[in-house]
Structure 1
Amino acid sequence: MVINHKSYSAIKLGVKKALVINNWEMAKECFTTNDIVVSSRPKLVAVEHMSYNQAMFRLGPCGPYWQKARKMTISEILSSHRVKQLRHIFESGSIKELFTFWCSNKNECGYALVELKQWFSHLIFNIVLQMVLGKRYFSLGTVDDEKAGRCVKAVKEFMRLFGVFTVGDAVPWLRWFDFGGHEKAMKETAKEMDSLVSEWLEEHRQNKALGGKVDGVQDFMDVMISMLDGQTSNGFDADTMTKSTVLSIILAATDTISTTLTWAMCLILRNPNVLEKIKEELHIVGKEKWLSENDITKLIYLQATVKETLRLYPPAPLSAPHEFTEDCTINGYNVTKGTRLITNLWKIHTDEYVWSDPLEFKPEKFLTTHKDIDLRGHHFELLPFGAGRRICPGISFSLQVVHLTLASFLHYFEIINPSTEPPDMSETFGLTNTKTTPLDVVFKPCLSPNCYESNEEVFT
């Protein structure tokens, strides 16, 4: 059953009620006036099996446990200080590596071919795993460790399965049939991910027993082991809290950031005028200087390009589901306790009453008519990170990585689409909305050669 309205749709997912909101006014009412009421998460079959039964704080209900895990994550891994500490991971894992790859693979015209979708994925995995586990697993085009390959495969399967609609979520008494075998796959994926993170946890415990980190810099798992030693919270022991929080960060950051970077590059390559404007703006940095965080603040057009990418291609077009914990009224519509809330971000982001030419890629709108709209949940016309108390805690981290990666790649290298056809934009929908096909580009360094050779200290 579907009841259509301009601003929302009330639907039945089997025996479960759901409210789908389609415009920014409804979103604002939900995530401000009724924020407390809509701040819980439904206990889906995927959540039960693949989040340690809601121990992953991003998938569990609000409460003391959620607050503790969220606060610890923000302070210990998503802070600006922590990101600056680990900036070298980005630089050594991207610019130097790409330059070395180009030296070995350039053709007679001076260009080398690289598949960006995979490169972005491996780069972000390296950054996140170094921060969380103190490990770097990938080189360009290769996997340096067997566990890394298992991790990437498990994360992709996790994202796919979270986008699957299971019969058990709609009609609980039919759950035991497991139509499509989705629940079996969820159990297998959960087992594989737990096996990986359990091995990492044991490695960290052994290192701690031997004296800890030689360089004195603890990764996030080290911090959690020290902070949670012997504690229990909300029925979860210290090991479960540590493993679930580590996996929450890996899952939340890797796929969403690499997906955003891939769509951004697709849109830039399909719009040569945008690429030209970004390159012109990058002249601010200069040809003999390495790009820094301070430079990013001056790259206004590049920031607008990222905003426009997130408007048209939010990583999770339907956002993460919420659940009403009390009866309430939304826009005059009576919503009963237990109803699921689905925020149709794609519809909100392409509302013709808000955005002129809503399906066109035009970063200029964020320099003119919509220049005051931000991405941090203050303006409900643009909500790629959500809003309210369940807003993504990694907004600053994600934007910093996206801006720095995109700006660096376009600053240090000249890029060309190797095909006469624009990049394919076909999508594969799961928990995130990913590009189906690879993204090939040819590239070559565009700074003076000594710039790549005389900044070795940046990479150490």
Structure 2
Amino acid sequence: MEFILSFPTIVTTTFSIFVFLFYIINKKSAKNRKPPEAQGAWPLIGHLHLLGGSELPHKVLGDLADKYGPIFTMKLGFHRALIVNNAELARECLTKCDKAFASRPKAQAFELMAYNCAVFGFSQYGDYWRQARKLAMCQVLSQRNVEMLEHLRVSELRVSIKNIYDVWLENKKDMVKVEMSSWFDELVLNIMVKIVSGNWFSSNDHEGDRFRVVIKNFFELLGVFEVSDFIPYLKFLDVSGYKKRMKKTGKQLDQIFEGWLKEHKMKGESDMKNLVYLEAIIKETLRLHPGVPLSVPHESIEDCVVDGYNIPKGTRLCHQDIDVKGKHFDLIPFGSGRRMCPGATLALHQLRLTLASLIQQFELKPPSMEPIDMSGRFGIVVSKKIPLEVLPPPPPPRLSPGLYGVGE
């Protein structure tokens, strides 16, 4: 029996073979495809010199993204970092490649101030991290527990509101400046300390003052660029002096936490749902001035492909942070995926409550009509370089005195 191929069959078969070969070749080349690398790397330190100037690092990376596009790499000492700068790429990294980027890089700050990376927010991905996060979510940060602890947050907010009211009473004739950064810092600190330890710090409390200084140093040092994190051969040196400060801060935190544990042991033995406008303000503020603009760094634990580029194991991920809970990737101030901040629900609940209370009970004005300086001071959390001061109007306040924690 003679088998004869028609001309159309030959053409179709040949075309199919070429398509198959093109697919195989393209797949192999895509696997070896690398994202563009920023120019200007120096020997040994790479691009670290670009991030060590007066400009905030996330601003520097934004300018580089304008030049090199939404995805590129940099050399940070001996380590390679992948920079992504749009919503789609952030979505790809934190959904499709979520597991690949689920770990954290080892850093001196995490080792010296977070019990050798035992604090689960800074620990590497694995069984320990999963169990620690599960415990935190179940015991403290679940939606149910956040709602159950609302009375603590409301109580601390009322105390802070009353402090502003008391300042008014002491200065009935003159306008008085209120430094909002310190006011918010103290409010958040008291809420977290009350939830975790049951303690409360007054404005003149020596232990409270000490804890505020230690916590401020802790967050500042978490965001510094320690040379040995990027050039491991210099680990035995303390070139910048940060290691000494980290050790001291870690020891001070340990002493404070140890005191709280002893206190607990001794004790053991013996309507804001419909504020759509406020939600819009919060989202726009987090978009323009994210508290953690670069997020806590991720590190890939396996090879993956992002936007068609092959990303090798060990690459650190940086992305600039419309839903703020990690679902819409245009704005992710709390991160997304496996390493999303577990305290996002608690933070948003308290943010709504605090802003709504301030706006409802006070008419706050700036000291002058000059534009407010929004430049920041870099750390793991970006704070204002120049504190925000406001002028509460003299008494009487907007509402009845009973709402400020004082008698009618």
Q: Structure 1 length as normaliser, TM-score? A: 0.70
Query: Once the two structures are superposed, what CA deviation does each residue of 1:340-378 show, in whole Å capped at 9, x if it has no partner?
Result: 111122xxxxxxxxxxxxxxxxxxxxxxxxxxx211111
Aligned AA (2:169): C
Instruction: Measure how far apart 1:130 and its partner are.
Output: 0.7
Q: 2:259 aligns with which of 196, 199, 220?
A: 199
Query: Once the two structures are superposed, what CA deviation does each residue of 1:324-352 show, in whole Å capped at 9, x if it has no partner?
Result: 1011211111111111111122xxxxxxx
Whether the aligned pair in 1 keeps the contact of 2:180 and 2:390 (CA below 8 Å) is yes
Query: Once the two structures are superposed, what CA deviation does each residue of 1:134-171 show, in whole Å capped at 9, x if it has no partner?
Result: 11103xxx332x22112111111112212211221111
Q: 1:83 aligns with which of 149, 156, 168?
A: 149
- Change in Cα spacing, 1:381 to 1:448, as seen in structure 2 (3 Å) is closer
Q: Distance in 2 between matches of 1:446 and 1:307?
A: 28
- Change in Cα spacing, 1:450 to 1:315, as seen in structure 2 (3 Å) is closer
- Change in Cα spacing, 1:11 to 1:100, as seen in structure 2 (3 Å) is same
SS class of match (1:334): strand
1:396 alignment counterpart: 345
Whether the aligned pair in 2 keeps the contact of 1:83 and 1:397 (CA below 8 Å) is no
1:316 alignment counterpart: 292
Q: 1:409 aligns with which of 347, 350, 358?
A: 358
- Change in Cα spacing, 1:451 to 1:185, as seen in structure 2 (3 Å) is closer
| 1:94-109 map, 5 Å | 94-108=160-174
SS class of match (1:55): coil
When Rg is computed on C-alpha atoms for both structures, the one with the higher figure is 2
Whether the aligned pair in 2 keeps the contact of 1:93 and 1:126 (CA below 8 Å) is no
| 1:267-306 map, 5 Å | 294=271, 296-306=272-282
Does 2:193 correspond to 1:132? no
- Change in Cα spacing, 1:422 to 1:134, as seen in structure 2 (3 Å) is same
Aligned AA (1:2): A
Aligned AA (1:154): V
Aligned AA (1:302): L
Compare the two structures and name the one with the higher strand fraction.
Answer: 1
Instruction: Measure how far apart 1:454 and its partner are.
Output: 8.4
Q: 1:117 aligns with which of 181, 184, 194?
A: 181
2:134 alignment counterpart: 71
| 1:408-447 map, 5 Å | 408-444=357-393, 446-447=397-398
Which stretch shifts more, 446-455 or 29-38? 446-455
| 1:173-252 map, 5 Å | 173-210=233-270
Aligned AA (1:130): K
Does 2:204 correspond to 1:143? yes
Instruction: Measure how far apart 1:456 and its partner are.
Output: 6.4
Whether the aligned pair in 1 keeps the contact of 2:111 and 2:117 (CA below 8 Å) is yes
Q: Structure 2 length as normaliser, TM-score? A: 0.79
Instruction: Measure how far apart 1:5 and its partner are.
Output: 3.9
Whether the aligned pair in 1 keeps the contact of 2:162 and 2:404 (CA below 8 Å) is no
Whether the aligned pair in 2 keeps the contact of 1:113 and 1:443 (CA below 8 Å) is yes
Q: Distance in 2 between matches of 1:206 and 1:188?
A: 27
SS class of match (2:313): coil
2:111 alignment counterpart: 48
Structure 2: state its 5+ residue gaps: 1-36, 40-66
Instruction: Measure how far apart 1:397 and its partner are.
Output: 0.9
- Change in Cα spacing, 1:18 to 1:454, as seen in structure 2 (3 Å) is closer
Q: 1:93 aligns with which of 147, 154, 159?
A: 159
Aligned AA (1:143): N
Instruction: Measure how far apart 1:453 and its partner are.
Output: 6.9
Aligned AA (2:211): C
